[in-house]
Structure 1
């Protein structure tokens, strides 16, 4: 009997398959597909976390905050689909209630979501943006 190699995934392929099959357009799913999606999800999260870590270290912070993740999302045009959800999450983390009709975004790249501890940081960013004008 030949040995069948088992594919290792960090996100449960069975759960990914259930999520995929919640869509009526998705029929049968090969056993390799959820593993590939799991790996793609790992790489996607790795990119966001490494980018957030770079921002955290560049600002001499010791703690990664939702503000740093939000900045990654707003600075990368490929992540535009996450802006609304990230802004809502950041507002909820700071104790603010998100708008029910959807979040509005300003033309500035800096996110509007700030907390007491990030107030000084946002003032520094405002000073830096004036230098570029």
Structure 2
């Protein structure tokens, strides 16, 4: 029986394929003193805003991360859409009127109508 186990182990070791390390894998597996930042907005500020709601007593770390990440994604979408209207005006600076135009013309942003006033 010992011979069979040794053969099995040798077969398994020869079947293994070398793992190629991508930059993302190296970044996630390295033990650096600084953790890579997964979000750009300050978590404490988002948590404070979430706790302003009287129905919200506790905020879990998972919920905080998800709300922060979704807020970043929403702001990125709004900025890209506003940038398109800025480009139509042949300008290099996003102005309030570009954000207003994006809100007025993009159906998914219509819930923001009147929010900037």
1:28-47 superposed Cα distances (whole Å, 9 cap, x missing partner) = 22112111111111111111
User: Structure 2: any 5+ residue segments left out of the alignment?
Assistant: 1-30
Tell me which residue corresponds to 1:75.
Answer: 105
- Give the aligned partner of residue 113 of structure 1: none
1:30 aligned residue = 60
Structure showing greater relative contact order (alpha-carbon pairs closer than 8 Å, 6 or more residues apart): 1
- Per the alignment, residue 40 of structure 2 pairs with 10
* Equivalent-residue separation in structure 1 for 2:82 and 2:71 (angstroms): 16
Q: Which has the larger radius of gyration?
A: 2
Structure 2 distance, partners of 1:42, 1:16, is 11
Q: Within 5 Å, give how 1:1-133 maps onto structure 2.
A: 8-86=38-116, 88=117
Q: What is the deviation of 1:55?
A: 1.5
Over the aligned positions, Cα root-mean-square deviation in angstroms equals 2.1
3-state DSSP of counterpart to 1:49? helix
Q: Answer whether contact 1:7 1:35 (CA < 8 A) is retained.
A: no
For these two proteins, the number of residue pairs brought into alignment is 84
* Matches of 1:63 and 1:20, distance apart in 2: 31
Q: Distance in 2 between matches of 1:26 and 1:6?
A: 29
Does the aligned pair in 2 maintain the 1:74–1:80 contact within 8 Å?
A: yes
